[in-house]
Amino acid sequence: MPRKKKGEEQEEKDTNSQPKSKKKKSSSVKYVDPNELLDEYLEEVINALGLAYLNLSREEYKELIKEPFAGAVGEVKTKPKSKTIINRLSANRDSLMEFLAMKLVRIKDLEKMTEEQLEFVVYNTKNAIKDLGPRLYEICIKKGRSDLIDVLRANWTIYGINSPVKCPKCMFNAIMPDLSCYICKYTITMKQLKEQLNVLQILFDYFKVDPQGYKEIMMAGYFYYSWDGVLPPSKQPKDLLRFEIVLNKEEKEKLKSFYIEHSTPQTQ
Ligand SMILES: [Zn+2]
C-alpha cells in the first residue's frame, strides 16, 4: 500500500539520522509475518469475502489468498485487526475476485472443479478470457452449462477479441480473419461469411455513401470488412480484425448491373 510505504521510508530516514544505538534498537523490532497472521484470520477472511461456498481445503484457501492477504497486511510492526485487512481486501472487490479466479485455475485443474468453483471462475474471468475462453467454453459444453456459456459470451464481448463476425456454432463474436472461431475452433466458409454479412446488400448500401469506392471494389473484385464496415482495397482498415472478402463472378456481375442501373450518365 503506497500510503504505508511512504511511512516506512520516512521511518527509515528517521532511523538513519538517529544515533547508532537507537538504530540497532529499531531494527530488532520484527515485522508482522503475514503467513502467520493468515493462519489465524483465514476462516474469518474467507467468510467475510463470501468464498466459503468454494469448499476448498484449508491449504488451498491459504494458497488462494496469500498474496492479496500479504498485500493488505503490508509491512507493519503491530498486528492489524482482521477487520482492517478485510476492509482493505474488499476495497477492490472486482479485481480481487478476478485475481482469485485466475489463482484458482492455477491451484485446481479446470476439469476437476466443482460446479461452484467453475461458476466462480467463469463469472470472474475478465481479461484472461483471451487465454481461458476456449477451455472454459469446452468444459461448460461438456457439463451442459449453457447459462455459464451466456456469461462467457458476454464477457468475451467486453474483454475478448470482439470480432464483427459471429460464429454460427458457438454464437460468440469470435470469427478471426482466417475464418476460424477463436472459441470453438469451427471454421466458416467464405460462403457462410458472405451469407452472414448479406454481402451484396451491404455493397449496394455502400454505393450510396461512396460510389467511387463501390466502383473500386467492383473493378478489384474484393473488399475489406471490419467494425468500420465495408472498405475498398485502397482504404485498408487499421483494425487487425479485418476480413478480405473476394467476390465471385456472379457477385461481380450483380455489382456491375447495379452500378449501371444507378449511375447517372456523367459519372460513367
Ligand atoms: Zn465458435
pLDDT in tens, 166-195: 999 999 999 999 999 999 999 999 999 999
CA distances from 36 to 44, 69, 82, 206, 266 (A): 14, 11, 13, 67, 85
- 154 and 260 in a single domain? The answer is no
170 in Cβ contact with 157 (< 8 Å): no
Does the residue 170 lie in any domain? no
Does the residue 175 lie in any domain? no
- 132 and 246 in a single domain? The answer is no
Q: Residue 251 and residue 257: Cα distance in Å, rounded?
A: 10
CA distances from 208 to 21, 202, 203, 212, 220 (A): 85, 10, 9, 10, 19
Q: What pLDDT is attached to residue 29? A: 73
Q: What pLDDT is attached to residue 42? A: 97
> Which residues are CB-neighbours of 102 under 8 A, at least 6 positions away?
125, 128
- 57 and 145 in a single domain? The answer is yes
Q: What pLDDT is attached to residue 267? A: 47
Q: In angstroms, what is the span from residue 233 Cα to ligand 1's centroid?
A: 28
> Which residues are CB-neighbours of 185 under 8 A, at least 6 positions away?
134
56 in Cβ contact with 12 (< 8 Å): no
Does the residue 8 lie in any domain? no
Point out the domain boundary residue: 136, 159, 182. 159
- 60 and 134 in a single domain? The answer is yes
Q: What pLDDT is attached to residue 240? A: 82
Q: In angstroms, what is the span from residue 169 Cα to ligand 1's centroid?
A: 5
- 226 and 143 in a single domain? The answer is no
Q: In angstroms, what is the span from residue 160 Cα to ligand 1's centroid?
A: 13
**Cβ-based burial of 174 (10 A; exposed 0-12, middle 13-18, buried ≥19):** buried
Q: In angstroms, what is the span from residue 82 Cα to ligand 1's centroid?
A: 46
Ranges under pLDDT 70 in the chain: 1-28, 265-268
DSSP state of 110: G
Q: Residue 212's domain spans which residues?
A: 198-267
Q: In angstroms, what is the span from residue 187 Cα to ligand 1's centroid?
A: 8
Does the residue 15 lie in any domain? no
Q: In angstroms, what is the span from residue 244 Cα to ligand 1's centroid?
A: 19
What is the three-state SS of 26-85? Answer: HHCCCCCCHHHHHHHHHHHHHHHCCCHHHCCCHHHHHHHHHHHHHHHHCCCCCCCCHHHH
Report the number of distinct structural domains present in the chain.
Answer: 2
- 243 and 136 in a single domain? The answer is no
> What does the block give as the cell for 181?
472461431
Q: In angstroms, what is the span from residue 172 Cα to ligand 1's centroid?
A: 6
